[in-house]
Amino acid sequence: MDGETDVAESHMGPIRGRHLFAGPGPTNIPDSVLHAVAHATVDFNAPDFLATFRAGVEGLKRILRTHHEVFLYTASGHGAWEATLQNLLSPGDAILMIESGYFSETWALMAGKLGLEVRTLPADWRRGAEIAALARTLAEDRAHRIRAVCVVHNETATGLALSLPEIRAALDGAGHPALLLADTISSLGCFDVRMDEWGIDAIVGGSQKGLMLPTGFSFTAAGPKAMAAHGTARLARHYFDWSAMLNRPHRSFVGTVPVTLFYGLQESVRLIEEEGLEAVFARHARLAEGVRRAVQAWSGNQGPEIFCIDPARYSNSVTAVLMPEGHDAEAVRAIARGRFNVALGGGLGRLERKVFRIGHLGDLNETMVLGALGAVEMSLKLAGVPHGAGGVAAAMAWFTASA
Closer CB to ligand PLP, 86 or 299, in the complex: 86
Q: By CB under 6 A, what part of segment 275-294 binds ligand PLP?
A: none
Name residues whose C-beta falls within 8 Å of residue 148's C-beta, 6 or more positions apart in sequence: 85, 88, 89, 93, 95, 96, 178, 179, 180, 181
Letters for 106-145 (x = contact with ligand PLP by CB under 6 A, - = none) are: ----------------------------------------
Count other C-beta atoms under 10 Å from residue 142's C-beta: 9
Shortest CB 209 distance to ligand PLP, Å: 7
What's 24's DSSP letter?
S
Under the binding rule (CB under 6 A), the answer on residue 183 touching ligand PLP is yes
Find the part of the chain contacting ligand PLP (CB under 6 A) among 64-72, 178-186, 245-253, 300-308: 178-186
**Which residue in the set 84, 137, 186, 220 belongs to the binding site for ligand PLP (CB under 6 A)?**
186
Shortest CB 61 distance to ligand PLP, Å: 20
Number of H helices, E strands in the chain: 15, 14
Under the binding rule (CB under 6 A), the answer on residue 296 touching ligand PLP is no
**Which residue in the set 128, 205, 206, 391 belongs to the binding site for ligand PLP (CB under 6 A)?**
206
Closest CB to ligand PLP: residue number: 77
Closer CB to ligand PLP, 76 or 90, in the complex: 76
Under the binding rule (CB under 6 A), the answer on residue 84 touching ligand PLP is no
Under the binding rule (CB under 6 A), the answer on residue 346 touching ligand PLP is no
Q: List 72's β-bridge partners, or say none.
A: 219
Under the binding rule (CB under 6 A), the answer on residue 213 touching ligand PLP is no
337 with 354: CB under 8 angstroms? no
Name residues whose C-beta falls within 8 Å of residue 200's C-beta, 6 or more positions apart in sequence: 164, 168, 180, 181, 182, 223
Find the part of the chain contacting ligand PLP (CB under 6 A) among 14-22, 28-36, 75-83, 125-133: 75-83
Cα distances (angstroms) measured from residue 60 to each of 13, 57, 219:
42, 5, 10
Q: Of 303, 291, 278, which is closest to residue 398 (Cα–Cα)? A: 291
**Which residue in the set 27, 52, 87, 156 belongs to the binding site for ligand PLP (CB under 6 A)?**
156
Find the part of the chain contacting ligand PLP (CB under 6 A) among 182-190, 223-231, 254-262, 285-293: 182-190
**Beta strands of 35-106 (E only): which ranges?**
69-73, 94-98
Q: What 3-state class would DSSP assign to 338? A: helix
Under the binding rule (CB under 6 A), the answer on residue 78 touching ligand PLP is yes
Tell me the number of residues near ligand PLP by CB under 6 A.
11
**Which residue in the set 4, 22, 25, 89 belongs to the binding site for ligand PLP (CB under 6 A)?**
25
Give the 3-state secondary structure of 208-264: CCCCCCCCCCEEEEECHHHHHHHHHCCCCCCCCCHHHHHCCCCCCCCCCCCHHHHHH
**Which residue in the set 5, 32, 74, 76 belongs to the binding site for ligand PLP (CB under 6 A)?**
76
Binding footprint of ligand PLP on the chain (CB under 6 A): 25, 76-78, 103, 152, 156, 183, 185-186, 206
